[in-house]
Structure 1
């Protein structure tokens, strides 16, 4: 059995360090678990979409992890899917990310019998040249004789495959259905996502299992969120991968300070549309 740690939504930066101590506690906890690999599942930074210094701060902070680490970007790292956003994902923001952390999508065959595939959820449905490059990558990466797990910052959907578009919260309909076809065709075992700051495990009768990973930074009150499932918890996620399958454990981290983003009254982040 191979253990993989997932740290989601740390939101650490040099300009605003509110959540940095929680990051340190999460890293110490993961180091004690002696996992083979850690995946940072997006929103590593507080505001790297607009701040080069936050990128540099986050890169330096990763050195505290004892083992190897793979990183994916989130909306606060490279910008939003929504083209009308004040900080849309674009080639310049993505280039800053890749220059610092390497590719914004990747595959890893380090776990025997398993393939881990990470994608940049922030370019799905944008029409950027980088998006089509990623689709071409996925056509190959998801076709494997290994069991495959897809990692993505944004969930593919909140409630069901055919729900309406909520571009801040989840993958929009056109790329979502394209992804659904790929996952069905390739028999992908599971999809692991972040962004909702909640924990969820859903194992449907058909298709991949879905896991939402809790954040280390803050919680969000239900009144600020679209309707969604999941449990209000802060911590990390431990994936156990073996020849028999994959299990996910949501692991509270001792000493994490509980924050609710609404209590900052918009001084950290503006409220997104529900």
Structure 2
């Protein structure tokens, strides 16, 4: 895979699923602990892979914005299902729709975006749009295709992973992208200078490697009991010749 060598070594904090809530201050305390820890570790840039809030309310979005005001480095984030609805599967009220997207954009800005820092394109996607059939999905796909056209090295981040263990695994479940959208997106990534694809959503650390590194970060709110290694975030160290990551564990705060 072609990678542009014109960038300096970079230290990235990858965080996910803070689930900030007006009724559960323990999530907020754990989130603040993680942010303080990451600042002491002197990361160059922060990526937050969705589920910023618990219920997608204006008050929770404001709480998230206030919580990151002290970060003096670039911090990029994307929405998750708790921020604007689950992926479309059954037509239930809790699934993504244009009204929820407008609410998110009004309070937190673009739900998909791209910026270049340190010579790397950071492309944030709204994974809830995949297979939604919404106009916003078409807009995002056109945007994504245009961003992939450049030869700059890229890190792509989203909330739900394209797949959990196998690119050919079945869809129709809560945890991954539907297979048609997944195949289309993976095909777009083929032979492009993609350093890593980052996600969250699973509330546990999952790492896959095809010809691209796929990482799902653990949560900072709660883990899944059967799989969790505890709460934490990832430090991703990238240089032109190497990529490696460390798990930074965060204690559970009970009071």
Task: Identify whether the pair has TM-score above 0.5, normalized to the shorter chain.
Answer: yes
Q: Distance in 1 between the 2:239 and 2:116 partners? A: 13
Q: Distance in 1 between the 2:107 and 2:144 partners? A: 23
SS at match of 2:121: strand
Give the stretch that moved more between structures: 165-174 or 149-158: 165-174
Q: Choose the corresponding residue for 2:135, options 102, 125, 129.
A: 129
Partner of 2:214: 210
Q: Distance in 2 between the 1:61 and 1:181 partners? A: 37
Q: 1:202-247, CA deviations, whole angstroms, 9 ceiling, x for partnerless residues?
A: 333xx2111111111101123xxxxxxx762311111112221422
TM-score of the two chains, using structure 1 as the length reference: 0.84
Q: Choose the corresponding residue for 2:18, options 10, 27, 30.
A: 10
Structure number with higher relative contact order (C-alpha < 8 Å, ≥ 6 residues apart): 2
Q: 1:79-129, CA deviations, whole angstroms, 9 ceiling, x for partnerless residues?
A: 1112523311111111121122221111121122x2211100011100111
Task: Name structure 2 gaps, 5 residues minimum.
Answer: 1-8
CA RMSD of aligned residues (A): 1.9
TM-score of the two chains, using structure 2 as the length reference: 0.90
Q: 1:34-66, CA deviations, whole angstroms, 9 ceiling, x for partnerless residues?
A: 112111110011111xx2221222222221323
Partner of 2:70: 64
Q: Counterparts in 2 of 1:32-71, with a 5 A limit?
A: 32-48=40-56, 51-71=57-77
Aligned length: 246
Q: Counterparts in 2 of 1:18-37, with a 5 A limit?
A: 18-37=26-45
Partner of 1:256: 252
Q: Distance in 2 between the 1:239 and 1:144 partners? A: 23
Task: Name structure 1 gaps, 5 residues minimum.
Answer: 223-229, 259-274
Q: Distance in 2 between the 1:188 and 1:64 partners? A: 30
SS at match of 2:231: coil
Q: In the alignment, is the contact (CA less than 8 A) between 1:200 and 1:231 conserved in 2?
A: no
Q: In the alignment, is the contact (CA less than 8 A) between 2:151 and 2:193 conserved in 1?
A: no
Runs of 4+ in 1 over 6 A off after TM superposition: none
Q: How far off is 1:19 after superposition?
A: 1.1
Q: How far off is 1:166 after superposition?
A: 3.4
Instruction: Confirm whether residue 101 of structure 1 aligns to residue 108 of structure 2.
Output: yes
